[in-house]
Amino acid sequence: MDIPSILARSLAPLLLAGLATAPALADDSFVCGSRIIELGLTQAEVLAQCGAPTSQDVQEEAVRSGNRTVGVTQKSRWTYASYSSTRVLVFDGDRLIGIEDPAGDD
C-alpha cells in the first residue's frame, strides 16, 4: 500500500469530524472584483486577482498517520471582508482548498 493511500485513510475520519464543526461552507468559488476565485489557485494567483486580504492567520498543523506524526503543513486563512459579504479563504501550503462564509449567508 502506498503512502498517499495510507494518509488518505488515516485523515478521512479527521476531515469528516472537522467538517461537522466547521463554519458554514460557501461555494467553491467567489467573485473578487471582476475575477472568479476558485479552489486550486495558489496564494500568488489570489493576491494578483484580489490584492491583500483584510486579515491573515497562519498555523502549522501536524500531518498524522495513525498515531504518528509524519510531517507538518501550513494552514493559512485569509479573510476578505466587504460591505456586502465576507469570505475566508483556506490554504493548505500554497493551494486554495476551501472558501468559507463565516456568517452562513449562502
Whole-prediction pTM: 0.67
Query: Per-residue pLDDT tens for 30-83?
Result: 888 788 999 999 999 999 999 999 999 999 888 888 888 888 889 999 999 877
Domains of the chain with CATH codes: 3-100 (3.30.1450)
Of 6-10, 22-26, 69-73, 74-78, which range is least confident?
Answer: 22-26
Q: How far apart are CA 36 and CA 26, in angstroms?
A: 14
Q: How far apart are CA 78 and CA 89, in angstroms?
A: 5
Q: How far apart are CA 39 and CA 28, in angstroms?
A: 6
Instruction: Extract long-range pairs of 31-34: CB within 8 Å, 24+ residues apart.
Output: 32/80
How much is the pLDDT for 21?
Answer: 39
Q: How far apart are CA 10 and CA 56, in angstroms?
A: 29
Q: Which of 63, 67, 66 is nearest to 1 (CA)?
A: 66
